[in-house]
Structure 1
Amino acid sequence: MAEHKIEDNVDVEGINYFTIYELPDSQDKKAPCVLLAHALMSNLHMYDATVKALHAAGYSTLRYDHHKITERRMSLGGQLAYHMDDLTRHMHQLVKARTGQSHLKAVVGCSIGGVLALRYAMMFPKDVDQIVSIAAPGIKAPEDKKPLWSQRIRLFEEDQEAGTDKLCHATVNRWFPGGPEDDALREESLMHVKTCSIQGYRLLADTIRNYDYSDEVGRIEKVDCLIGGGTEDTAISLDELQDVAEKIRGAQFVRIQGAGHLPPMHKAQEFSDLMLPFLGSPQ
């Protein structure tokens, strides 16, 4: 395997994280690193285009899959349960394990990853300069969406028993609400969601129903934040995300025109055109 791209698995408290750490096109081993957190049920490949843009701009990247549970821990301890804070701590540990140091240039997160990115700024403000939080379901778990996760878990279980992929198709269609022009993206994303384990889905579904940072988000002061989402995303409220941005000193808010729930895939160029000027030069 080429030295500039290192794939490895890291176990943290029962979760087996598959990670990819990559150097920029310049192969600069001292290049600042950007950590990327993907959407629930997707995987790290939803950021393929984003990573390519970051590498061309001179950044190294670390991305990971956060939905795979080690069978050993599952068999010994039963169903694992975590809070969003636990998953954020895991991200911090992954950075140290894979890069050898704690500091990041930025954390980029989408959907549940968008929440994790914001929480990272609250928990580790000295270890990250910037946050890009896209398509977060809110700064607190939406009450009206909590029953949906129970329904989706049941559908996943039914799919497992029947050998069908109803939840996978429903999820992808919800993420990309456009017409035939998005068919290729749906097919690509369908391959991503099929890698999600039922154990990981349950864990993250429980996690995303149980957080509330509304009293803490305003304390983010020393981390620059870019917050936003797609105008065609029916899973979030852009007005609520704008309210979140207004609570953070100096935060920028963006509406990504025509994008569904995964702007880094759906509108890859537009997303990079917003992200890269915000991050600035890696030097």
Structure 2
Amino acid sequence: MQVALANGVGLNWREDGDPAGYPVVFANSLGTDMRLWDQVLPLLPRGLRIIRFDKRGHGLSDCPPAPYAMEDLVSDAEALLDGLGLRACVFVGLSIGGMIGQGLAARRPDLVAALVLSNTAAKMGDAAMWQTRIDAIRAGGIEALADAVMERWFSPAFLSRPELTAWRNMLTRTPVEGYVGCCRAIAGADLSESTSALSLPVLAIAGREDGASPPALVQGTADMIAGSRFAVIEGAGHLPCVEDPAAYAALLNDFLKEHAHV
């Protein structure tokens, strides 16, 4: 494991693949860590420099006190990529990771040459919804909402699989301050204006059974960006890279062949 001081926060990050290869950066969803991508990476083309990181308050990264703003999370990613000397990467972000990707591409187009927006949107939910979730977590911990979150994350078929236990544990072991901090960041973010102005290749991916960011929401954001592509993975929920890594990797590989020179 490696830790970089980025924007004043110690971020846990990992590099796989070819250190001299084309950079592809993966950013995780709320309540997960970089293991979110474990099943997809072996299915990607050889010759890529793959960077993953735990955003603040998640995984093995520092957990500053809540609340956070989306600008903080974007600045963390920006500082990490600058510190690693990355330029013109393909940035793959899922859920809040996709919001970070949108913000980073708008602020630093030199860092992001192409963008994958997975199960995300320019605006996700409203402030009242997020406040209700925060209040419930402050009262009863993440455990109080864990079963409901699993139902939003996964299709009914996956909910009966033994692997569900590991994902539920990943969620409930997320630091409360980190989870609540990122809830605040999402609640306060509306990226519609800056996302509409993006002019880079974009692939948007949705899961047909996603209860957190339904396909129509993801497509609505894709439609803001001229020339973007939109794809739906059938039978998968909010984390299609977990439920159907082969289908997910197939979409990524087609995009990477065009934009990552592999």
Q: Scaled by the length of structure 1, what TM-score is found?
A: 0.82
Instruction: Assess, with a 3 A threshold, how the Cα gap between structure 1 residues 185 and 120 changes in structure 2: closer, same or farther.
Output: farther
1:84 aligns with 2:70: yes
2:52 to 46, 59, 63: 63
Is the contact made by 1:155 and 1:166 (CA closer than 8 Å) also made in structure 2? Answer: yes
Tell me which residue corresponds to 2:93.
109
Task: Show the 5 A alignment for 1:211-226.
Answer: 211-221=189-199, 223-226=200-203
Gaps of 5+ in 2: none
Give 2:47's aligned amino acid: G
Distance 1:70 1:121 in 2: 24
Give 1:64's aligned amino acid: F
Instruction: Assess, with a 3 A threshold, how the Cα gap between structure 1 residues 181 and 247 changes in structure 2: closer, same or farther.
Output: closer
Return 120-129 or 265-274, whichever deviates more.
120-129
Distance 1:233 1:8 in 2: 32
How many residue pairs get matched?
Answer: 257
1:135 positional shift: 0.7
2:177 to 178, 199, 207: 199
Gaps of 5+ in 1: 1-6
Tell me which residue corresponds to 1:15.
9
Is the contact made by 1:45 and 1:192 (CA closer than 8 Å) also made in structure 2? Answer: no
Tell me which residue corresponds to 2:221.
244
Q: Scaled by the length of structure 2, what TM-score is found?
A: 0.88
1:190 positional shift: 1.8
Tell me which residue corresponds to 1:32.
22
1:180 positional shift: 5.7
- The root-mean-square deviation of aligned C-alpha atoms, in Å, is 2.2
1:124 aligns with 2:108: yes
Instruction: Assess, with a 3 A threshold, how the Cα gap between structure 1 residues 14 and 157 changes in structure 2: closer, same or farther.
Output: farther
1:43 aligns with 2:12: no
Instruction: Assess, with a 3 A threshold, how the Cα gap between structure 1 residues 238 and 30 changes in structure 2: closer, same or farther.
Output: same
1:243 positional shift: 2.8
Is the contact made by 1:109 and 1:132 (CA closer than 8 Å) also made in structure 2? Answer: yes
Instruction: Assess, with a 3 A threshold, how the Cα gap between structure 1 residues 244 and 190 changes in structure 2: closer, same or farther.
Output: same
1:23-51 deviation per Cα after TM superposition (whole angstroms, max 9, x unaligned)? x2xxx331011111111011110111122
Structure with the higher fraction of residues in helix conformation: 1
Q: Secondary structure at the match of 1:184?
A: coil
